[in-house]
Structure 1
Amino acid sequence: MNFEELKSAAKENLKGFCRVCSFCDGKACRGEVPGMGGVGTGSSFIANVEALSEIKLNLRTIHDAKEPDISIEIFGEKLSMPVLAAPITGTNYNMGGKISEENFIKMVISGSKEAGTLGMCGDGGNPVFYESGIKAIKEENGDGIAIIKPRENTEILERAKRAEEAGALAVGIDIDGAGLITMALMGQPVGPKTKEELKQIITKTKLPFILKGIMTVDEAEMAVEIGAKAIVVSNHGGRILDHTPGVAEVLPAIAQKVKGKITIFADGGVRSGVDVLKYLALGADAVLIGRPVIIGAFGGGKEGVKFILEKFAKELKQAMILTGCKDIKSVDEKILYKK
């Protein structure tokens, strides 16, 4: 299997739902929600990609970073790379249904584990979404993270309990899903949370808690204040609110305030290991990838997911060699070119 073969198979299996463009920038699928695009004009999806593309790196080759160590530790677990599979659901209405929800998330969780990292499972209007993810995590002895929609607190806590019972490494809410159209269409509305509501959830959960969908400094500081263990700087892939900035635009200010106080994940527009390096240099501790994982699963199943993650890992290593970074801790803003 090579990347072109993987993309070709994915294009066939995703026909009518994703064009598997030569470069995935959100322009061909503007407004295709449900589907694989960004909401409205698609500007938020596009902004994620363009914000990353505008960042330039300093090429350095006089150093001793010949064999970079890209391993990291998240919530006490050592991972082979600072790249995790983002929570993704809706194979039927977003991706055409050639792969069932249960099989898809099993591919993601298992493929991620085989690559030495973790996959996240998601939630949605159909109960099978979350159930399939929890089942996949349990089958992999807890090697996965469960992310829940911002439902009523009682429903979130019930799902968090199931994640605990499955042995999941962590649990969280994709609070950026507060306005998801697809959830409303399925009769399960979601919405924002107050600090008090979030505190109630976090204090009743045994697992490290993640808030996914943080795009401002004040909300990042609130996450620290209420006891969350991690945030995901994300605009939900540009799929919920039109005209937001790209993640790379807001990440530095957030990292400046909360780096070291809370684990920071970045999510949005990542298309290569070089993009991973950029997010790390901007202040992220690890990075989530979504659409590339879909291409991997629809193009090659579990092995395809593993292939994509390992491809990103190889690209990251090469980029670290060429910027003089011997390990993830040594990646910082010094590798970024500033006029």
Structure 2
Amino acid sequence: MEAAILAPALDKSGGGHSLPSPYLLFLGDTTDRSYAKTALGLADWAPERCIGELAVAGCTVTTGLPAMTPAQAAAAGVRALVIGVANPGGVVPDSWLPALVDALEAGLDLVSGMHMRLADQPVLAQAAQRTGRKLIDIRVPPAGIPVGNGRKRTGKRLLAVGTDCAVGKKYTALALHRAFVERGIDADFRATGQTGILIAGGGMPMDAVISDFEAGAAEILSPDAPATHWDVIEGQGSLFNPAYAAVSLGLLHGSQPDVFVVCHENARKVILGMEDFALPAIEEVIDMTIRLGSRTNPAIRCGGISINTSDLDAGAAADLLARESDRLGLPAADPLRGGAAFDALVGNCLGSASVGHD
């Protein structure tokens, strides 16, 4: 039987596609939680689809799910192993291959959001053909993406932007989307990266789109909508990241956000993986986002700040958020802590509440 080598067709506007689930989350040999964001994101936001985790020698990160072999996972009803790592360059190293082959031989399909295609690894392609299992790559943009046109679209849009990569843009967008829906707002979460796509079941893998078509991809991801509808758009990269600013700018121009939220990790001092580059100040990100974003939406505004305070206890986190809110004249919150600070952020994004100074 021939293996199915699949690139699931994603609805351009973020509609879903069917993936075999539940999942066994693969952590590889990851030692930095920032690079395990796909596994951690799925465990946090799609727990009903996640049964266990699998790692190889050297891994120091865990999702907290039970450790399972592929055979144990298959016996528990798991249908697919999801590569839960987002490493620099999106590569599948040779050291992972024995575990991935074991998964295929145990009867699991492989799902990957890496840049490297699963079928480009001969040992995986051969094992999939031998076992009749599927190799599914989700970081594949749809065909026929147009060049951006800059036309202002109807509806409302919020974009999560960041001081760097992996600072909480996805978690912030998901939390804001959930809060909007709980308040009776008609809203969609628009995924732009592999983890968000796996959580939402559809989206646009922005960092796999050819640069000339980035803005066009963002335009079709968030199409015309009713005046009261909100698209909450997952951000990518950072305008200040020397490697990934291009995708951030294309997404900013194409998504035409009415509101943006700046995401920041309190413990982060330098660009991830680029220790010679200091993190920009939050106010620098606000200024740059408004200056560049106003090209396609002159009414763009900052709705507030989302800060990952996982390095602090509750009291210290509350103090930090209050200081930053006072300093910047905007709501500052940690979406995972919630509370009044997050309610203020939600309200200011929707335009129903604000804080600030004249």
Q: Check whether TM > 0.5.
A: no
TM-score normalized by the length of structure 1: 0.35
TM-score normalized by the length of structure 2: 0.34
Task: Say which one has the larger Rg.
Answer: 2
- Please state which structure has a larger fraction of its residues in helix: 1
